[in-house]
A and B are shown apart, each in its own frame.
Chain A
Amino acid sequence: MKKIIETQVLIIGGGATGTGIARDLSLRGLNVILIEKQDLNAGASGGNHGLLHSGARYVCSDHEAAVECNNELNIIKRTAGHCVEETGGFFVAVCGDDEKYIADFPGMCRAAGIPFKSVDVTDARQMERSLSEKIIAVYEVNDASINPFKLSIENMNDAVSMGGQYFSYCMLQAVEMENKKVCYAKIQNRISNEIFYIKADTYVNASGAWAGRIAELAGIPINMVFSKGSLLVTSKRITKRVINRLRKAADGDILVPGGAVSILGTTSVRVDSPDNIFPTVDEVDRIITEGEKMIPLLKTCRYVRAYSGVRPLVSKGNNDDREVSRGFTLIDHEKDGVDNLVTITGGKLSTYRLMAEKTSDIICKKHGIISKCQTKHIVLPSTKSGEWSEPGLHITESVTRESRHDPILCECEIVPATAIDTIIRSIKNNKGKPDLTSIALRSRVGKGPCQGSFCSTRILSHMYNTGELTHAAGINDLRKFLNERWKGEQSLLWDQAIVQSSLKEMIHCGLFGLELETQ
Chain B
Amino acid sequence: MKDKQTISCDLLIIGAGFAGMVAAARASSLGLKTVQVGNSSTLFLVSGLFDLLGVYPITSGQSLHSPATGLERLRIDNSRHPYSKTGYIKILESLNFLKFFLAAAGLDYQSNNNENYLVLTAAGTFKPSFMVPKTFIKGCGIKQGSKRLLLIDFNGLREFSAKQIANVIQDAGSDVSVLTIEIPAVSSTLNPIQLANLFEDIQFLKFLSKKISPFSKKTDLVGFPAVCGLNKSLETIGKLEEMTGLDCFEIPGMPPSLPGLRLKNAFEKQLSQNNVIFLNNSKIESHEFKNHQFILNAATQNMNTQITTKGVILASGRFPGCGLHAKRELITETVFNLPVFQPETRNKWYHLNFFNPEGHAINQAGLETDDAFRPVAQNNAPAFKTLYAVGSILAHNDWVRLKSGSGVSCVTAYSAVNDFYNSVSGRDTNV
With A464-B163, A498-B319 already in contact, the answer to whether A512 and B62 are too (CB < 8 A) is no
Which B residues are in CB contact (< 8 Å) with A404?
A: 187-188
A381 contacts the other chain (CB 8 A): no
CB neighbors of A among B46-70 (8 A): 47, 55, 61-63
B45:A482 contact, CB within 8 angstroms: no
B176 vs chain A, min Cβ distance (A): 12
A502:B188 contact, CB within 8 angstroms: no
With A471-B170, A483-B353 already in contact, the answer to whether A461 and B158 are too (CB < 8 A) is yes
CA distance A488 to B401 in the complex (A): 22
CA distance A510 to B349 in the complex (A): 18
A280:B347 contact, CB within 8 angstroms: yes
Choose the segment among B120-128, B288-296, B334-342 that binds chain A (4+ C-beta atoms closer than 8 Å).
B120-128
A475 contacts the other chain (CB 8 A): yes
Which B residues are in CB contact (< 8 Å) with A320?
A: none
A498:B254 contact, CB within 8 angstroms: no
B167:A505 contact, CB within 8 angstroms: no
B199 contacts the other chain (CB 8 A): no
Interface flags for B222-258 (1: CB within 8 Å of A; 0: not) read: 0000000000000000000000000000001111000
A406:B350 contact, CB within 8 angstroms: no
CB neighbors of B among A443-490 (8 A): 454, 457-458, 460-462, 464-465, 469-472, 474-475, 478-479, 482-483, 486-487, 490
Query: Nearest A residue to B163 by beta-carbon distance?
Result: A464
Which A residues are in CB contact (< 8 Å) with B171?
A: 471-472
Choose the segment among A142-150, A281-289, A335-343, A424-432 that binds chain B (4+ C-beta atoms closer than 8 Å).
A281-289
Which interface class (under 10, 10 to 19, 20 to 34, 35 or more) fits A? 35 or more
CA distance A495 to B62 in the complex (A): 32
Which B residues are in CB contact (< 8 Å) with A170?
A: none
B347:A282 contact, CB within 8 angstroms: yes
B15 contacts the other chain (CB 8 A): no
A495:B327 contact, CB within 8 angstroms: yes
B187:A405 contact, CB within 8 angstroms: yes
A464:B167 contact, CB within 8 angstroms: yes
Interface flags for A475-519 (1: CB within 8 Å of B; 0: not) read: 100110011001100100111001100110111011111111111
CB neighbors of A among B324-360 (8 A): 325-328, 345-347, 349-357, 360
Residue of A454, A462, A493 contacting most chain B CB atoms (<10 Å):
A493
B158:A513 contact, CB within 8 angstroms: no
Which B residues are in CB contact (< 8 Å) with A281?
A: 345-347, 349
Which A residues are in CB contact (< 8 Å) with B158?
A: 407, 409, 458, 461-462
B319:A502 contact, CB within 8 angstroms: yes
B405 contacts the other chain (CB 8 A): yes
Query: Nearest B residue to A470 by beta-carbon distance?
Result: B167
A479:B355 contact, CB within 8 angstroms: yes
A342 vs chain B, min Cβ distance (A): 37
B26 contacts the other chain (CB 8 A): no
Which A residues are in CB contact (< 8 Å) with B127?
A: 511-513
Which B residues are in CB contact (< 8 Å) with A510?
A: 47, 399-401, 403, 405
A516:B63 contact, CB within 8 angstroms: yes
B145 vs chain A, min Cβ distance (A): 17
CB neighbors of A among B352-372 (8 A): 352-357, 360, 363
With A464-B163, A495-B327, A506-B400 already in contact, the answer to whether A515 and B61 are too (CB < 8 A) is yes
CA distance A470 to B63 in the complex (A): 25
Query: Nearest A residue to B399 by beta-carbon distance?
Result: A510
Query: Nearest A residue to B51 by beta-carbon distance?
Result: A510
B326:A461 contact, CB within 8 angstroms: no
CA distance A505 to B180 in the complex (A): 29
B422 contacts the other chain (CB 8 A): no
A509:B252 contact, CB within 8 angstroms: no
A407:B156 contact, CB within 8 angstroms: yes
A461:B161 contact, CB within 8 angstroms: yes
B184 contacts the other chain (CB 8 A): no
CA distance A408 to B355 in the complex (A): 28
CA distance A462 to B347 in the complex (A): 37
B214 contacts the other chain (CB 8 A): no
B318 contacts the other chain (CB 8 A): yes
A457:B401 contact, CB within 8 angstroms: no
B151 vs chain A, min Cβ distance (A): 11
A388 contacts the other chain (CB 8 A): no
Query: Nearest B residue to A483 by beta-carbon distance?
Result: B354
CA distance A58 to B393 in the complex (A): 51
CA distance A493 to B122 in the complex (A): 27
- In the complex, how many residue pairs between chain A and chain B have their CB atoms under 8 Å apart? 162
Which B residues are in CB contact (< 8 Å) with A475?
A: 123-125, 168
Residue of B121, B159, B252, B357 contacting most chain A CB atoms (<10 Å):
B159
Which interface class (under 10, 10 to 19, 20 to 34, 35 or more) fits B? 35 or more
B316 vs chain A, min Cβ distance (A): 13
A402 contacts the other chain (CB 8 A): yes
A292 vs chain B, min Cβ distance (A): 11
Which A residues are in CB contact (< 8 Å) with B123?
A: 457, 475, 478, 511-512, 514
B320 contacts the other chain (CB 8 A): yes
CA distance A464 to B159 in the complex (A): 11
Which A residues are in CB contact (< 8 Å) with B401?
A: 509-510, 515
Which B residues are in CB contact (< 8 Å) with A515?
A: 61, 355-357, 401
B164 contacts the other chain (CB 8 A): yes
CA distance A288 to B179 in the complex (A): 52
Which A residues are in CB contact (< 8 Å) with B278?
A: none
Which B residues are in CB contact (< 8 Å) with A479?
A: 355
Which A residues are in CB contact (< 8 Å) with B414?
A: none
Which B residues are in CB contact (< 8 Å) with A502?
A: 318-320
A271 vs chain B, min Cβ distance (A): 14
CA distance A281 to B360 in the complex (A): 15
Query: Nearest B residue to A416 by beta-carbon distance?
Result: B188
CB neighbors of A among B275-326 (8 A): 318-320, 325-326
B160 contacts the other chain (CB 8 A): yes
A503:B188 contact, CB within 8 angstroms: no
B167:A516 contact, CB within 8 angstroms: no
Residue of B124, B325, B355, B403 contacting most chain A CB atoms (<10 Å):
B355
Identify B161's interface contact among A285, A407, A465, A516, CB under 8 A.
Answer: A465
With A506-B400, A507-B254 already in contact, the answer to whether A517 and B188 are too (CB < 8 A) is no
Which B residues are in CB contact (< 8 Å) with A179?
A: none
With A402-B189, A513-B126 already in contact, the answer to whether A471 and B352 are too (CB < 8 A) is no
Which B residues are in CB contact (< 8 Å) with A282?
A: 347
A403 contacts the other chain (CB 8 A): yes
A457:B254 contact, CB within 8 angstroms: yes
CA distance A344 to B381 in the complex (A): 67
With A281-B347, A516-B61 already in contact, the answer to whether A511 and B252 are too (CB < 8 A) is yes
A278 contacts the other chain (CB 8 A): yes
B254:A454 contact, CB within 8 angstroms: yes
B35 vs chain A, min Cβ distance (A): 26
With A405-B187, A464-B161, A514-B125 already in contact, the answer to whether A493 and B349 are too (CB < 8 A) is yes
CA distance A518 to B61 in the complex (A): 7
List 19 A-B residue pairs with CB atoms under 8 Å apart, sorted by A's residue number. Answer: A404-B188, A458-B159, A461-B159, A461-B161, A464-B163, A465-B161, A469-B164, A472-B124, A472-B171, A490-B352, A493-B326, A493-B349, A494-B346, A506-B45, A506-B320, A509-B355, A509-B400, A511-B252, A515-B61
Residues on A lying within 8 angstroms of B by beta carbon are: 278, 280-282, 285, 288, 402-409, 454, 457-458, 460-462, 464-465, 469-472, 474-475, 478-479, 482-483, 486-487, 490, 493-495, 498-499, 502-503, 505-507, 509-519
Q: Other CB < 8 Å A-B pairs besides A490-B350, A505-B363, 20 of them?
A: A281-B347, A282-B347, A285-B328, A402-B189, A457-B254, A460-B164, A465-B164, A465-B180, A472-B167, A495-B327, A495-B328, A499-B319, A506-B320, A510-B399, A511-B47, A513-B125, A513-B128, A514-B123, A515-B61, A519-B125
The 6 closest A-B pairs by CB, nearest first: A461-B161, A517-B61, A281-B347, A464-B164, A486-B354, A407-B188
